[in-house]
Amino acid sequence: MKISNILQPLIDPGRNPISNLLKALQVGQILEARVLQQVQPRLLRLQIGTTELLARSQVALGTDTRVRLEVAKVLPQPELRILQAPGEPQRQQLLLRSAMPRQLPPAEVREKVRELASQTRTPRQAEGARLLDQVLRDSGVKLQQLGPAQVKQAVQHSGLFHEARLTHALPAEPADTKTRLLQLLTRFEAEGDLELDPARPRPAPEAGDKSAPPRGVITDSLLARLTRLVEASVSRIQLQQAATLPTEDSPRQAWQLDLPVQLADESHDVMLRIERDTTEQDAHGGSTWAVNLAFQFDNIGTLQARVGLSGERVSTTFWSDRGNTHRRVEQRLPALQQAFEAQGLEVVHLSGVLGAPAEPLIRTPMPDKLLDEHA
Query: What are the boundaries of each domain within the chain?
Result: 3-86, 106-244, 252-354
| Long-range contacts from 263-270, C-beta under 8 angstroms, 24+ separation | 263/143, 267/106, 267/107, 267/110, 267/136, 267/137, 267/140, 268/295, 268/297, 269/105, 269/106, 269/107, 269/295, 270/294, 270/295
The answer to whether the predicted template modeling score (pTM) of the entire model surpasses 0.75 is no
pLDDT recorded at residue 208: 39
187 vs 317, more confident: 317
Class of domain 252-354: alpha beta
pLDDT for position 78? 80
Higher pLDDT, 10 or 273: 273
- What is the CATH T-level fold of the domain 3-86, as seen in this structure? OB fold (Dihydrolipoamide Acetyltransferase, E2P) (2.40.50)
> Exposed, middle or buried, 282 (CB in 10 Å: 0-12/13-18/19+)?
middle
Euclidean distance between CA atoms 184 and 54, whole angstroms: 21
Computed over every residue of the chain, the mean pLDDT equals 79
Task: Give the pLDDT confidence of 210-241 residue by residue, as tens digits.
Answer: 333 444 556 678 999 999 999 999 989 988 88
Residue 144 — very low, low, confident or very high, per pLDDT cuts 50/70/90? confident
* Ramachandran quadrant class, 42 (left: phi over 0; alpha: psi -120 to 50; beta: rest): left
Q: Residue 359, CB half-sphere, CA atoms under 13 Å: how many?
A: 4
Q: Does 254 have pLDDT greater than 60?
A: yes
In contact, 148 and 167? CB cutoff 8 Å: no
pLDDT recorded at residue 66: 80
Other CB atoms within 10 Å distance of the CB of residue 152: 10
Average pLDDT over residues 112-126: 95
